[in-house]
Chains A and B, each alone.
Chain A
């Protein structure tokens, strides 16, 4: 039993365009934040030698979004990175829909399992991080 390469290819083609659009949007948001960030303190001293962990408002989905919309340049860049992290998740959701349409229940199950791991990492891992 072989899979139907042509149908899968069409779905994959749509997914690929979705991914590329996601990356472009994410990059534009990051660049927008970067322009504001570099204009703000261009001569400030940088030091990444020691790890301090990021402030709480840049660590979780529900704090990054309001920080970005308050106009904080680092918050805007972090929102762009969050959009970037979301692109593979969108791909998995899209694949799940495609398997539902194909009526492949086994692969709907596998895809939802992968999705659960991804959503746990993004929304649940701060509970025990």
Chain B
């Protein structure tokens, strides 16, 4: 008998799948339309969008099974709902036609290519659901990853160097400004800081640097390792106004905050500056895990080392790219690292006065652990680095500059403000920007200015080393301690990212009378913002709300498991199984996705225990991983649950940040058990539930002439965030 039976099977990357049965007819075609038209009491597809060519069903005419599965490319029906109808024929010319009922394909506004397989089993409906068009985009399918995998923090050399620079800058700046007596490096040549003892950049600069530190540590005697009254050299320097300069750009107005680029406790909690001797504060500022109390006792050796250290660290921050990062890690990962660890342990034994926990005791254990951790990370990075990338990496290059031993660069900025719960230097992108960089030179300050120099600012992503912008400014007759201004045009500023930390690295090069040119460096971490930014996250202010309506909130429902099909096609005789069973420890991860406008359903991964071949039960036993990536934009739409409007684009941008996403990622672990007969179908769904949280958004109230935000006004908004998940196990009714 000729048939024309059409059923929607599901959605896949290849298109929309249908099961068709043509009976004794072998030829068929599908018609896709936008509506249903009723003529002569029969429903037909109307407003035709697409019709397939006549196809052949090879199973057609079969005695037992004349059905087959076909699919339609997604681009044929990707706009709104579509209606499909099957027509079958005995011959290609269209004899003996038969037609099916019209099947509605529930397609949202999103692209079908993003839909996972079986995203909408047509037979499963919720009785409490209402047929309404979902305002949410069709979810994406994403690889499964736990929060640990998403946010595991591997300390990189950039972090190490950034920390070294951040912590050491105030110390070095003060030493250069006020402890010039210690700076005995001889000045030669016309250039400031062109010391003969300048440490040239070398591939194993970290080795040299650490050895220098270790050398200093090994000179610690029981007498001078104990806390000593702050030496005059460590006193806060007198205000050091910029020296008169012939450079017209070097005469800015004194900003409210000068010297160091560091923000936070390093600036305000320096006990030498405040005279604060409270015991609990003594452990705050560290350089490579070494309390700066120890540095104070070692000022003699360190005063020579620190400018080198600063310039070396900043130079590497400028040069560091991902491949180089791996290479640096590689250098440290093997023999050098082990040697350094051995030396550290040796140094620890040779400094008996430096008892762990004692004030001023250098905590070498921290440094040892840091080196070991960095070595592990480097090994992992090396494994993932393609050989081609490795061979193309040139370390530092032969055209190295001589790093100045007495001059560094420091950024002159205003006070930081609150951003994502911490203090950051914020700049408004919608204003003209300018960065003021001080050429800080230690005693003895050369009398003559630098005839010419080149200042380069590099704006790099603090995490992935992406270079967003580079600005180069020529300098003439640059006096020591002069301030150089680098304006950033609106066109250049447009290339900078908002709401993510950016490292601004300054590099000054000037020629020497003979030999290689000299170099001084500095850096600071800033954040560029538009109209709004997240200042802080508050507490929950509402009860929990569940997204119980599957039809409305389908984009949040994740089917993490489905029972196996144990019908006649699977196994026979002794291999036949009659029951299925799930018994797994499941980890479900809920992440926020700030960069996507659709949710992402993670593909479930199962680690199965070895099955029992004799068992009549198809048992899935072991571990399961699944999860969901919640689009911040999609979550914003949930505000309608609390009778509120979704956040506008400007406010949504303020919270669409990696920092906000990380702060609100969560996961759960739960044992799931479900069992049933072969004739039953089992499903497990997971749906996140939300509470409303208060967020404090900041907006620039006052910016200074450089574009830095120095005063903010705050407003409170409410935003839903996931706090738990509903796990539902279903079985078909027998």
A and B from one complex: no
Query: Taking beta carbons and an 8 Å cutoff, which residues of B are in contact with A?
Result: none
